[in-house]
């Protein structure tokens, strides 16, 4: 059994959660669930990034204190992720002075002791939307490409992290064939190495209190507040109590560490973060899993255009069941941009969930019910594509694994049409129905990481429980004590 520490980017607390947050958390949850099913010990952390200029300004606009704003936002995220069946173990908030701040202050001290921090006057272009300084090469026609507005020109005295000192070490780390920091997909790794070819510049790590008062104070410098990178990135360590008397170093030092993030913050996680860790004497993570963006009907979601998709509305469309949305998002290849369409998710609901998966379960159980629900002992070997499925899941090719599962459901439906079990003599019929029930059992197991609620209901109707791990469950006929199936119930009702 391996130990796994899995994290997502922490979500910025200036507004309610959107579909980008959903896309990331579902991806990470599929990953966490698969790791647990294959027998790994998993610690899965998500959380909130609650400091910074955007929060400070948004709170002022609403006549709130920043603390009141983030305390209002945090439950919105927690509740949404609970509705999505995101199986995180921990939820960290950067405004937590007991759980987060001690690690951040200690890390700052380690960076200072390593000679990696320097105070200097700085003049640059600051995007409050990105919460970062931009260079001319970051802009498109003088605008921030992500927020479509010109950055502010700012002159101030800040502490800088001397990232340029780590250029050679970062190249070696990212290019290593073994024991390095792997970026998935490979295209993102190539982009990151190209940034190294352009040369790294030092990074602003603080801002004057006059500009940013809502954040972690810089140790020993009361006039400065830590900027986003030392504060927010450090959540991956503070969640484990690093540099405190509650350290859980085993989930970093003796684990595989995977960060799941969006492509817009790749370079910060791929370059700044491992450089900080190196300077502090902490090993680099093992991998960075990078997802793309989500558009709507081929266009970026925008309140002006009127195509913003609210996660809660999608859940409500399907009676609160998160599995149609989870399945939809899981079909987007890791690293690629995805597009949301109400028509396509409706087609997926009817075509895959209702007509392939739900119909298969109902057909098999209805025929079994006519035979008293009896599951006769299985003979021979079944043709279940577990090897291909496992290979895809272990390679983070979740959309491919999902295709394998859906194709397996198709094959079972085709088998029913071909063999016509209802027309067979009683003995042959019962044997064929036992084979079909076993097919549905294996399908349910394959669906557990993607649509756990549906997979659990399928297993319950089969008369089985949800296994904690897959080893021992994926052999053909593994459930030797399985003698009877339950009554069929409709998994997915027609949409109104």
Model confidence over 362-372: pLDDT tens digits? 999 999 999 99
Query: What pLDDT score was predicted for residue 193?
Result: 92
Instruction: For residue 149, name the pLDDT band (cuts at 50, 70, 90).
Output: confident
Q: Is the peptide bond before 444 cis (omega within 30 degrees of 0)?
A: no
What is the torsion angle, in degrees rounded to the nearest 10, for the CA atoms of residue 356, residue 346, residue 26 and residue 447?
A: -10
Pairing of β 182-184 and β 287-291: parallel
Residue 453 CA to residue 469 CA, distance in Å, equals: 16
Distance of CA 167 to the CA centre of its chain: 29
Whether 378 has a pLDDT exceeding 90, the answer reads no
386-403 confidence digits (pLDDT tens): 999 999 999 999 999 999
- Class (C level, CATH) for 3-292: alpha beta
- What beta strand segments (E) does 214-281 contain? 217-218, 221-226, 256-262
Query: What pLDDT score was predicted for residue 131?
Result: 63
Active site residue 31: no
Average pLDDT across the chain, whole number: 94
Tokens 């599962």: give the residue.
405
344-361 confidence digits (pLDDT tens): 999 999 999 999 999 999
Q: Which of 172, 300, 370, 483 is catalytic?
A: 300
Inter-CA distances, 327 with 101, 197, 247, 346, 352, Å: 37, 39, 37, 12, 10
Strand order in the sheet with 203-204: 132-134, 117-127, 152-161, 203-204
Active site residue 21: yes
Query: What pLDDT score was predicted for residue 355?
Result: 96
Instruction: For residue 124, name the pLDDT band (cuts at 50, 70, 90).
Output: confident
Pairing of β 41-49 and β 11-12: parallel
- Class (C level, CATH) for 342-462: mainly alpha
Q: Which strand (E) or helix (H) includes residue 161? A: strand 152-161
Domain boundaries along the sequence of the chain: 3-292, 342-462
Active site residue 18: yes
Q: Which of 51, 54, 88, 144 is catalytic?
A: 144
Determine the 3-state secondary structure of 164 from DSSP.
Answer: helix
29-72 confidence digits (pLDDT tens): 999 999 999 999 999 999 999 999 999 999 999 999 999 999 99
* Cβ 337 vs Cβ 23: under 8 Å: no
Strand partners, 41: 3
Determine the 3-state secondary structure of 39 from DSSP.
Answer: coil
Nearest-5° Cα angle at 102, 28 to 134? 60
Residue 230 CA to residue 223 CA, distance in Å, equals: 17
Q: Which of 31, 130, 230, 296 is catalytic?
A: 130
Residue 279 CA to residue 288 CA, distance in Å, equals: 19
Determine the 3-state secondary structure of 490 from DSSP.
Answer: coil
Tokens 């200097």: give the residue.
120
Query: What pLDDT score was predicted for residue 60?
Result: 96
Query: What pLDDT score was predicted for residue 146?
Result: 65
- For the segment 334-349, the average pLDDT, to the nearest whole number, is 95
Nearest-5° Cα angle at 302, 301 to 304? 155
What sign for the dihedral angle of Cα 44, 48, 51, 54?
positive
Instruction: For residue 302, name the pLDDT band (cuts at 50, 70, 90).
Output: low
Whether 130 has a pLDDT exceeding 80, the answer reads no
Select, from the ranges 146-160, 220-234, 376-390, the one with the highest average predicted confidence (pLDDT): 220-234
Residue 224 CA to residue 276 CA, distance in Å, equals: 19
What sign for the dihedral angle of Cα 194, 196, 202, 205?
positive
Structure tokens at 429: 């019929």
What region does 213 belong to: left with phi over 0, alpha with psi -120 to 50, or beta?
alpha
Query: What pLDDT score was predicted for residue 397?
Result: 98
Distance of CA 437 to the CA centre of its chain: 32
Of the candidate ranges 192-201, 248-257, 294-303, 426-435, the one whose mean pLDDT is the lowest: 294-303
- For the segment 313-335, the average pLDDT, to the nearest whole number, is 97
- For the segment 395-419, the average pLDDT, to the nearest whole number, is 97
Query: What pLDDT score was predicted for residue 129?
Result: 65
Question: 123 burial class (0-12, 13-18, 19+ CB within 10 angstroms)?
Answer: exposed
Residue 150 CA to residue 143 CA, distance in Å, equals: 4
Query: What pLDDT score was predicted for residue 128?
Result: 66
Q: Which of 31, 127, 230, 296 is catalytic?
A: 127
- For the segment 125-129, the average pLDDT, to the nearest whole number, is 73
Q: Which of 177, 178, 303, 381 is catalytic?
A: 303
Active site residue 147: yes
Strand partners, 217: 225
Residue 208 CA to residue 225 CA, distance in Å, equals: 6
Angle, helices 426-447 vs 359-370, to 10°: value is 150
Strand partners, 245: none
Active site residue 296: no
Active site residue 291: no
Q: Which of 18, 110, 146, 479 is catalytic?
A: 18
Determine the 3-state secondary structure of 323 from DSSP.
Answer: helix
Query: What pLDDT score was predicted for residue 304?
Result: 60
In this prediction the pTM is 0.93
Does 143 or 147 have the greater pLDDT score? 143
């Amino acid at each position: 059994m391996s130990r796994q520490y899995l994290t997502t980017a922490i979500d910025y607390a200036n507004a309610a959660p959107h579909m980008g947050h959903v896309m990331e958390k579902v991806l990470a949850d599929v990953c966490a669930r698969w790791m647990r099913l294959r027998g790994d010990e998993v610690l899965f952390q998500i959380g909130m990034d609650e400091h910074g200029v955007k929060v400070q300004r948004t709170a002022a606009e609403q006549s709130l204190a920043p603390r009141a704003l983030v305390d209002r936002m945090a439950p919105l995220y927690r509740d949404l992720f609970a509705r999505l069946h995101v199986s995180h173990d921990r939820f960290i908030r950067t405004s937590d002075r007991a759980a987060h701040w001690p690690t951040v202050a200690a890390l700052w001290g380690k960076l200072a002791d390593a000679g990696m921090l320097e105070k200097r006057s700085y003049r640059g272009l600051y995007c409050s939307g990105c919460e970062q300084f931009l260079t001319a090469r970051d802009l498109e026609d003088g605008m921030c490409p992500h927020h479509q507005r010109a950055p502010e020109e700012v002159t101030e005295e800040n502490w800088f992290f001397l990232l340029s000192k780590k250029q050679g070490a970062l190249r070696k780390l990212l290019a290593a064939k073994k024991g390095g920091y792997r970026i998935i997909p490979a295209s993102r790794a190539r982009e990151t190495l190209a940034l190294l070819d352009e040369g790294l510049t030092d990074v602003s790590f603080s801002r004057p209190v006059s500009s940013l008062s809502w954040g972690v104070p810089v140790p020993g410098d009361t006039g400065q507040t830590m900027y986003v990178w030392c504060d927010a990135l450090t959540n991956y360590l503070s969640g484990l109590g690093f540099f405190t008397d509650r350290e859980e170093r085993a989930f970093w030092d003796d684990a595989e560490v995977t960060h799941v993030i969006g492509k817009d913050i790749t370079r910060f996680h791929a370059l700044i973060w491992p450089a900080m860790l190196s300077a502090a004497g902490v090993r680099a993570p093992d991998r960075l899993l990078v997802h793309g963006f989500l558009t709507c009907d081929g266009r970026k979601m925008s309140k002006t255009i009127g195509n913003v998709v609210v996660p809660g509305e999608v859940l409500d469309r399907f009676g609160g069941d998160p599995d149609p949305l989870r399945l939809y998002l899981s079909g987007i290849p890791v690293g690629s941009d995805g597009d949301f369409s109400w028509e396509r998710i409706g087609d997926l609901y009817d075509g895959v969930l209702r007509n392939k998966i739900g119909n298969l379960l109902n057909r098999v159980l209805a025929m079994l019910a006519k035979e008293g629900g009896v599951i006769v002992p299985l003979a021979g070997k079944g043709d279940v594509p577990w090897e291909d499925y496992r290979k895809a899941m272990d390679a983070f090719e979740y959309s491919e694994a999902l295709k394998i599962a859906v194709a397996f459901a198709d094959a079972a439906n085709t088998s029913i049409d071909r063999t016509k079990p209802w027309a067979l003599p009683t003995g042959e019929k019962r044997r064929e129905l036992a084979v079909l029930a076993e097919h549905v059992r294996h399908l349910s197991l394959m669906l557990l990481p993607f649509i756990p609620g549906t997979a659990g209901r399928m297993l319950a109707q089969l008369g089985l429980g949800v296994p904690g791990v897959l080893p021992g469950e994926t052999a053909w006929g593994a459930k030797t004590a399985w003698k009877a199936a339950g009554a069929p119930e409709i998994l997915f009702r027609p949409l109104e």
